[in-house]
């Protein structure tokens, strides 16, 4: 099974990336994920279920420890047909 996680960490700081945002970036970059997109207001990562679930657990632990006061996330199952369509774009 493939999963996609979308997440944000707060509080936001428009002047420079807060420590919890940098930690979130480290976690997803180090995880064994197939696709990672990190942006200023939202982030996504995709991969097999175990690597995504492991990364989510690590993300929650480490960003909270780094000062996040809110973490919003959504995990979705990616259908194989969805992957083929996205790859064709």
The CATH code for residues 2-88 is 3.30.70.930
| pLDDT, mean of residues 7-13 | 92
pTM, entire model: 0.83
- pLDDT above 60: residue 89: no
Q: Which of 23, 1, 7, 16 is nearest to 79 (CA)?
A: 1
Domain ranges of the chain: 2-88
Q: Band of the pLDDT at 83, cuts 50, 70, 90?
A: low
- pLDDT above 70: residue 85: no
**Digit-coded pLDDT (tens) for 40-69:** 778 999 999 999 999 999 999 999 999 999
- pLDDT above 80: residue 27: yes
Q: At 66, phi and psi to the nearest 5?
A: -90, 5
């Amino acid at each position: 099974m493939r999963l996609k996680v979308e997440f944000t960490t707060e509080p936001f700081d428009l002047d420079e990336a807060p420590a919890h945002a940098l930690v979130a970036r480290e976690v997803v970059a180090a995880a064994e994920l197939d696709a990672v997109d990190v942006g200023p207001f939202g982030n996504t990562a995709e991969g097999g279920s175990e690597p995504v679930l492991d990364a989510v657990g690590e993300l929650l632990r480490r960003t909270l420890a780094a000062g996040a006061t809110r973490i919003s996330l959504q995990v979705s199952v990616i259908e194989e047909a969805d992957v083929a369509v996205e790859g064709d774009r």
